[in-house]
């Protein structure tokens, strides 16, 4: 009789302080109240996912809308650092190809009925964009095509040589190249042969990627602006695979995507994306679903930072009630993002059950001992 009385007192005391029992997190109602209460200190937007219009849409902007949109230059445009090979063809009176006189000595200027060619030493365009040609002096070639450089040298030699013809070959191109680094097989400088190579073409020409494509991000830097693109998205969405531009810098970065699972799911952990993109429904299934003993299917929340119109990070909480049949279809259209936090709310009705479980664990040994004592007395 004393034992029953004692257990009753403990149960009454436990029910009075039921809220202090251990829990894996707040309930759905507690989260909603917390968002409203702290809105002044940390403005958080709570978005119930009830219709397809409530499902967030990933920005569809292509890199060309973020990076400077520049028309591709000619592939033979000359710039600082480029190396030119210059050949000068002369007929009749020659300036560069000397004739041997009667004594066998070479003369700088001579007569020859045939065509003579003189290849000058390789000329590297200096930082100012100039080259030096004998007899013609310093010539500014930066921003000109190879054909324009040929015409420039030919005009400079007019009057010094009898109808010279000039052939210029771009033997080493720095201007029309990009730099590729990171998770590629052949990092380094890559010359764009056609100026129609796309972002994925650059990676392919650099020997292809290393690792798993779903874990890779391509960072493109163009004129001090950059954009990050998931490498798999270049295959899934051809609109993202925009042309490369001379001077671009590419870095292929290993950055696996993941989301965190908290609250009352089947398990609590950080989960890597099994593919480059997954839906909310797939994420919940990967996490083991709602714990039937402690979770609340009507209290599924997703915490995420999104960019506002000014580019600032704004916290948003999406609420999905999986007790509604329509939510299962909406969850299949809800795309997860890297670093999302998926929270399974606790059921408000599981606190008395936890109390009874705790009381059972505490008093089962005592009841066993009491029963044994009674057996010995009898």
End-of-domain residue from the set 172, 202, 235: 172
Whether the CB-CB separation of 279 and 332 falls below 8 Å is answered with yes
Which of 222, 254, 286 is the C-terminal boundary of a domain? Answer: 254
Q: Same domain for 182 and 265?
A: no
Confidence of residue 67 (pLDDT cuts 50, 70, 90): confident
Q: Which residues contact 237 (CB under 8 A, 6 or more apart)?
A: none
Neighbours of 340 (CB within 10 A): 20
How far is it, in rounded angstroms, from Cα 287 to Cα 266? 6
User: Does one domain contain both 165 and 182?
Assistant: no
Q: In the listed set 202, 223, 254, which residue is the last one of a domain according to the structure? A: 254
Q: Could you tell me if 167 and 95 lie in one domain?
A: yes
- % of the chain at pLDDT higher than 90: 46
DSSP assignments along 87-151, one per residue: EEEEEEEESSSPEE-TTS-EESSEEEEEEEEEEPPPEE--TTSEEEETTTEEEE-TT-BHHHHHH
Whether 229 and 201 share a structural domain: yes
State how far the Cα of 214 lies from the Cα of 237, in Å rounded to an integer.
Answer: 14
The domain total for the chain is 3
Q: What is the mean pLDDT of residues 361-378?
A: 52
Give the CATH number of the domain where residue 207 resides. 3.10.560.10
Among 295, 265, 292, which Cα is nearest to 280's?
265
Domain enclosing residue 305, as ranges: 15-48+257-350
Q: Are residues 246 and 262 in the same domain?
A: no
Separation of CA 316 from chain center: 22
The one-character DSSP state at 161 is B
User: Does residue 373 belong to any structural domain of this protein?
Assistant: no
What tokens does 148 get? Answer: 């324009």
Query: Residues 302, 265: one domain?
Result: yes
Residue 185 forms part of a structural domain: yes
Cα–Cα distance measured from residue 212 to residue 276, given in angstroms and rounded to the nearest whole number = 10
Confirm whether 329 is domain-assigned: yes
Asked whether residue 243 is assigned to any structural domain, the reply reads: yes
pLDDT digits (tens, 9 = 90+) for 241-283: 889 999 999 999 999 999 999 988 767 889 999 888 899 999 9
Residue 8 pLDDT: 44
**pLDDT for 181-207, tens place per residue?**
999 999 999 999 998 899 999 999 999
**Residue appearing with tokens 């989301």:** 259
Residues in the chain: 378
345 and 264 share one domain: yes
What's 107's domain CATH number? Answer: 3.30.1950.10
Asked whether residue 250 is domain-assigned, the answer is: yes
Q: Does some domain include residue 148?
A: yes
Same domain, 186 and 200: yes
* Packed helices 351-377 and 2-16: angle between N→C axes, nearest 10 degrees: 170
Q: How confident is the model at residue 95 (pLDDT cuts 50, 70, 90)?
A: confident
Return the closest-CA partner of residue 299 out of 329, 273, 265, 332. 265
Threshold 0.75, pTM exceeds: no
């Amino acid at each position: 009789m004393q034992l029953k009385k004692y257990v009753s007192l403990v149960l009454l005391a436990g029910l009075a302080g039921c809220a202090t029992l251990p829990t894996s997190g707040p309930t759905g109602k507690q989260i909603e109240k917390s968002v409203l209460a702290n809105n002044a200190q940390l403005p958080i937007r709570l978005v119930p996912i009830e219709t397809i219009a409530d499902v967030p849409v990933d920005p569809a902007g292509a890199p060309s809308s973020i990076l400077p949109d520049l028309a591709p230059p000619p592939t033979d445009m000359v710039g600082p650092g480029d190396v030119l090979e210059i050949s000068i063809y002369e007929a009749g009176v020659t300036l560069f190809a000397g004739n041997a006189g009667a004594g066998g000595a070479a003369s700088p200027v001579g007569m020859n009925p045939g065509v003579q060619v003189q290849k000058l030493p390789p000329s590297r365009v200096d930082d100012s964009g100039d080259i030096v040609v004998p007899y013609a002096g310093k010539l500014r070639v930066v921003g000109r095509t190879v054909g324009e450089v040929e015409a420039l040298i030919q005009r400079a030699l007019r009057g010094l040589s009898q109808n010279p013809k000039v052939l210029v070959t771009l033997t080493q191109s720095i201007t029309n190249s990009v730099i590729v680094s990171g998770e590629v097989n052949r990092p380094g400088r890559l010359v764009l042969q056609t100026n129609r190579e796309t972002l994925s073409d650059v990676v392919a020409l650099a020997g292809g990627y290393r690792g798993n494509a779903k874990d890779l991000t391509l960072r493109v830097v163009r004129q001090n602006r950059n954009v990050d693109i998931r490498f798999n998205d270049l295959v899934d969405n051809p609109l993202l695979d925009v042309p490369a531009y001379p001077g671009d810098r590419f870095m292929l970065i290993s950055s696996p995507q993941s989301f965190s699972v908290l609250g009352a799911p089947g398990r609590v952990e950080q989960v890597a994306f099994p593919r480059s993109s997954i839906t909310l429904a797939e994420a919940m299934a990967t996490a083991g679903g709602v714990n039937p003993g402690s979770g609340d299917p009507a209290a599924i929340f997703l915490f995420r930072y999104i960019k506002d119109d000014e580019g600032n990070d704004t916290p948003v909480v999406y609420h999905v009630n999986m007790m509604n049949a329509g939510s299962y279809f909406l969850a299949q259209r809800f795309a997860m993002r890297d670093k999302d936090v998926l929270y399974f709310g606790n059921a408000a009705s599981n606190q008395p059950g936890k109390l009874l479980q705790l009381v059972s664990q505490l008093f089962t040994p005592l009841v066993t001992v009491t029963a044994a004592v009674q057996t010995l007395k009898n």
